[in-house]
Amino acid sequence: MLRTILPRTRLLRTFESKAASSFYKLQNPTRTTRGLYLGLNQSIRMASNSSEPPKDVKFEDIAQGKIQSPAAYDFRSDTVTTPTPSMLQSILNIAVHGDDVFSEDTTTNNLESFIVSLTGKPAACFVMSGTMGNQVSIRSHLTQPPHSIVMDSRCHVFNYEASGAAVLSQAQMITVKPANGRYLTLEEVKDNIVDSDDIHYAPTRLICLENTINGVVMPVEEIKKISEFAREKGIKLHLDGARLWNVVAAGGGDLKEIISYFDSVSLCFSKGLGAPMGSIVVGEKDFILKVRHFRKMVGGATRQIGIATAPARTAVEEVFLGGRLARTHELAKRLESSWEKLGGKLKFPCDTNMVWLDLKSVGVDEGDIPVEARNAGLKWDYERIVVHHQICDNAIEKLEGVFEKLVESAKARGGVQSQDMPKVARYSRRVDQDLA
């Protein structure tokens, strides 16, 4: 028995010694070990766009642009973008990792100061996601219920944030469907706010706008009118500006001017800009102090978060200030033209990087989309097409070919949608389809 235990104990000690040595190197990396552990001098794993197993590629191949992003053929969303080599390099360039809970992370502080200079607002706070940015902003604006928020019925805050405003802020959400099908107007806001002391109602304390919604730009003139009305009534105004970068790149207004009409704005780094994660909230200094308090409450205050804020700044500089969003808009317009040449129409104007196909206009079945897309080596699953900065020209050509096949199939049915096409309720879970 003793002979069996001793060798195993010696082996365990040897393993612990090596593990401790490796841990020390990770905690205190030299230039050589940092490169080793982060994969600069050895091959790294990168997901392939196709159904084939992931391939081993070298970091130098990524840096030199020899391989494409896995998102190069993915039209499902601009959230599928992957970090660029310069974004990854920005993490390696961090000299000191500080604690952001104590506001001591230089990388994060620099990002927030940078966004302050870009937006013209006095203060900014990095948050983990767009949902967190919207929800801590709403909670910071509102105090004691009862209170209500007026918003577009299609907006992210109402539809895709797990009822956060109701749970975290105890707010009633008053949703309005725009008559023009594109954006809310001042008249619609006036008709739906609760401006009364009647005890039956929850008075409106906040208006939430979103720009863009479905890729459509909200005119600056309309924003200005709503802003002036809100201030006159003492109602706060928040903007979900997840894709505000696209608005500016499309010529939909000046960044500082648009933001000046709002009490708070959330901006996303991980959608059109392609950073790995994160958003930022801008507003007055006292407001941002409240945001930090509620960010802590919901678990969004983190320690050495420079590994996220460094690539976020690079994304702003490289994709927004570097002009890459303009190309996504041009490619979207090209797809719009290709679809219309086949007789198709759009559900919404193609103002930025989204193309919303009106499938009924040519009798295309939505269920055919993922099948034909996969056959062409693309990822695209329903009527919305999102063009991002990593989409390649070949993907655009392939998608135009998919358009042709979809319309041909529809014509073979007589130009109408299949009657046996299953109808799925808006909020129902979709059944996985056999794409083979």
Architecture of the domain whose range is 324-412:
Alpha-Beta Complex (3.90)
The Cα 263–Cα 245 span in angstroms is: 18
pLDDT at 3 over 70: no
Would you kindly state where each structural domain of the chain is located, as residue ranges?
91-320, 324-412
pLDDT of 233 higher than 60: yes
Q: Check if the beta carbon of residue 37 is closer than 8 Å to that of residue 26.
A: yes
Residue-wise pLDDT for 237-288, tens only, equals: 999 999 999 999 999 999 999 999 999 999 999 999 999 999 999 999 999 9
Element (H, E) at 223: helix 220-233
The residues near 423 (Cβ < 8 Å, ≥ 6 apart) are none
- Which ranges constitute the DSSP H helices of 298-436? 306-315, 324-341, 368-375, 393-412
Alpha carbon 143 to chain centroid, angstroms: 28
Helices assigned H by DSSP within 28-72 = 31-37, 59-63
Query: How far is residue 55's CA from residue 350's CA, in Å, rounded to a whole number?
Result: 36
Mean predicted confidence (pLDDT) in 290-314: 96
How much is the average pLDDT of 160-186?
A: 97
Tokens at 261, concatenated: 């009409």
Least confident of 68-82, 375-389, 410-424: 410-424
**What is the identity of the amino acid at 35?**
G
Q: Domain spanning 91-320 has what CATH number?
A: 3.40.640.10
Joined together, the tokens standing for residue 22 give 């490796």
- The helix (run of H) or strand (run of E) holding residue 154 is none
**Band (417; pLDDT cuts 50, 70, 90):** confident
Q: What are phi and psi of 349, to 5 degrees?
A: -60, 145
Percent of the chain with pLDDT over 70: 80
Q: pLDDT at position 420, please? A: 62
Q: Which residue has the higher pLDDT, 417 or 151?
A: 151
- Sequence-distant (6+) residues with CB within 8 A of 432 are none
> Which amino acid, 63?
A
Q: What is the pLDDT of residues 54-80, one digit of tens each?
A: 445 454 554 445 567 889 999 999 999
